[in-house]
Chains A and B, each alone.
Chain A
Amino acid sequence: MNNNITLKKQTKTILSIAAIAAILVLVYLTDDMGGNPMLITVIEKGAVYALVAASMNLLNGFTGLFSLGQAGFMLIGAYSYAIFTIPKNSHAAVYQYFDGGAIQWSIVEILESKMGIFGHYLGMLIPMIFAGLFVALIAYLIGIPVLRLKSDYLAIATLGFAEILRAFFQWNTLGPITNASNVLRKYTVYNNAVFPVIIAGLCIAFIVLLINSTYGRAFRAIRDDEIAAEAMGVNLFKHKELAFVISSFFAGIGGALLAMFQTTINATPFATTMTYEILLMVVIGGIGSITGSVIAAFLFTACSEWWLRGLDSGTWLGITSPLFRAGFRKVVFAVIIMLIVLFAAQGIMGTKEFSWDGFINWFRNLPANLKAWPEKHKAKSEAKKNEKAAVKAAKIKAKEDKKNSEAKRASGEKLFTPLETFDHVVVFDKEGK
């Protein structure tokens, strides 16, 4: 198929800018004009999870570090953001069990009083970046011991750290700062869905740039073969630590955005289940594809929060069934996920990324591909059939061979000449000898 086209760089830039602008304007207008609240919710939550999934993919998909600490890092991010943006007047109400808490100011308010509306947004950005940096610092410290561990040990150790962090944030002694078990609320949140979309978009763009840089290549070298990478002069620990810290930074920002989305936070939901959900998004999208993670995050959110809800309440797509009761949505969801894991391990995108060329060519080739599909399918099923037949034949042959050899053995014929054995070679070492 040689009718693929390659766009000029300039055209691509124009297209990208146009698409981004169109999406932003649409999101802004949808929210501003009071569009479907579920659509807006899915856009907001999807954007947050897209960022977190991309950050996890950077670690799991591109560096090959199987970390399960994402929820813990989001937790720190969410708290770091919320604590510093609760308005002064609300402290008494929020920290009602801790005499108004230890911190009596809000960055947003301080900056807003000095710089007006610009200060308001600056006041939201600063704690958000602080949240990211703080998480990065914690991740740096955790990384020093943990990153020396091998794959599954790393997974379980990061998971353990996330659980410890959660208990820590719920600790009564820290109550004046974290409000212990009680919810934090009233902190400054965005007022239009375009905010999380822009922030998440910028962060994801940064991740993509990082992956395409020399660092990104080093990360992939580590993923593909640690020992080879080390031999090629990649400093293993330094690069692992770098990937871990950067991934955590963005998880922290994602946590801050999630806090804004939820308008209240407490530590309980930031448990292993949340990490698993993010991991499943990464898997559905394709381990090693940022585009995939983004698409999967939106799909996952839309399905679990919106489209499949009918499965819980009796009627879905006009079908009513007594099977559709509380929890059925999650069963269907789990089945879909298992099917993807087992039969479509590539996920939606595999390791491919979005490009205008690919996008346009896909559409251009779609009619031809559709036309060719029955043939292809036929060929495929034919191949499968042949394979099956071959296996069957081989099995029958093996059975016959066995029978023959048994017959031969029965008649006293030697099947093969054993190799010479040497006394000093231990063929099989029994335990304890």
Chain B
Amino acid sequence: MKKVLALMVTLAMVLVFCVGCGGGSTAAWDPEGDTVTIGVFEPASGDNGAGGKQETLGVQYANKVQPTVEINGKEYNVKLEIVDNESDNSKAVTAVQNLISKNVSIVLGSYGSSVSIAAADALAEANMPAVGITCTNPQVTADCEQYFRICFLDPFQGTVLANYAWENGMKKAYCLSKLGDDYSAGLVNYFKEAFTALGGEVVEEQFPDKNTDFTSYVANAKKSGCDVFFSPVSIEAAVNIVDQAQAQDLGMPILAGDTWDSNMVTAAAKGTNVEVIVTTFYQEGGNPDFDNGIKSWMEEDSDALTNNGGNTDLAAVTAMGYDAYFVALEAFKAAGTADPSAVLAALPSLEVNGLVCGDVTFNETGDANKTEAFVKKCNNEKGAWEFLKKQAAK
């Protein structure tokens, strides 16, 4: 009797387990249904929360503009499945697994390269195609056949920035990166390579994470007699750096990468005499239809406005998010289905025109073929970006 009971209990446990397994078994995409799902893998909290939210906004707006897609003559609703990867590598894997378990057809994102690198293996295992939006580290696509991206890469961006600095008579650069952040470390590294190759000199320093006190770094830059302050770090740090630069009268331009292209940075620089120059993917005004459309959407939708930092100034990552959505739709159309493996097969030969930030084609590693970056400077009076030039790598 007792043994029977014990066995029953064990059996019950087994059953619970089976139900757990069976309940969410991964059925492939169902062409008979009426929806396709796109996974959005972006940080909404942590260090890159601000940028991730702005990027997500672009995808959401695109979904509002074009809520359906026609695949093989049938109209499907496009549903977004947004997941927060918390800018944290240890949460990224579970976040992306979450998307895979929700039967998404493609994954978009993320802002910040290290979470993308962390998620790459999980994507590869599930053979799930992913399109990186603004993750610029070369390692994202290098060893992952499933990962594509629509932005330029850090070696390219680093070279562009170094060229710009050199051409404008800057000979010695102070490079500040964040400890434990491979985005800033990588970009500083490529900048250093290109800049020293041109004949420049580099002073390198790092700050620990959670640091908000940049007084000494700004003082160090001044002390070392540099001509330019290069710090391609997160928006969070950027705001504090601009503030300290003003307080201590830095006296040299600050140069940074795509992360600084944010209205929060312009807001911080407004009314100061700090010179901020960034390279980026898109310049507001490049596509007036898009600009006006998304602005009026943000004005109506208070959540969107909050996520954009409280005003309607556009960040380049938002435009990139918008583009990524349409790349995904084109991939569905080209594949003739939304089955992940078929979409993956269709991506390498995909050619998407009419995007906001320029046409997209992929090379053999899955990176977009981009040859130019936009160089923008902050107008300190208006607190807005001004287009300077298009800069190529060579």
Contact = CB atoms under 8 A, between A and B. Distances in A.
Task: Report if A and B touch in the complex (beta carbons < 8 A).
Answer: yes
Interface of A: 5, 7, 11, 15, 18-19, 22-23, 26, 30, 34-41, 45, 90, 93, 96-97, 166-167, 170, 172, 180-183, 185-186, 189, 258, 261-269, 271, 274, 305-306, 309, 312-313, 325-327, 356, 359-360, 363-364
Interface residues of B, number: 59
A38 B24 contact: yes
B114 interface: yes
A305 B98 contact: yes
Contact of A266 (B114, B126, B208): B114
A305 B86 CA distance: 11
Interface of B: 2-3, 5-6, 9-10, 13-14, 17-18, 20-26, 44-45, 53, 81-84, 88-94, 97-98, 100-101, 114, 117-118, 120-122, 126, 138-139, 142-143, 177-182, 185-186, 189, 206, 208-209, 303
A313 B82 contact: yes
A407 to B, nearest CB: 63
Most buried by B among A170, A268, A305, A306: A268
Contacts of B25: 34-36
Contact of B83 (A26, A271, A309, A327): A309
Nearest to B114: A183
Given A45-B94, A181-B179, A5 B89 contact: no
A97 B186 contact: yes
Contacts of A360: 2, 5-6, 9
Nearest to B24: A36
Contact of A263 (B45, B122, B209): B122
A363 B11 CA distance: 14
B97 A37 contact: yes
A25 B63 CA distance: 43
Given A183-B117, A263-B93, A268 B98 contact: no
B35 to A, nearest CB: 15
A26 B18 CA distance: 8
A96 B189 CA distance: 10
Contacts of A7: 2, 6
A281 to B, nearest CB: 15
Nearest to A166: B180
Contacts of B24: 36, 38-39
Contacts of B208: 167
B10 A37 contact: no
List 6 A-B pairs, minimum CB-CB distance, nearest first.
A36-B24, A326-B44, A268-B180, A263-B121, A35-B21, A305-B94
A262 B44 CA distance: 20
B10 A18 contact: yes
A327 B45 contact: yes
Nearest to B53: A326
A264 B182 CA distance: 12
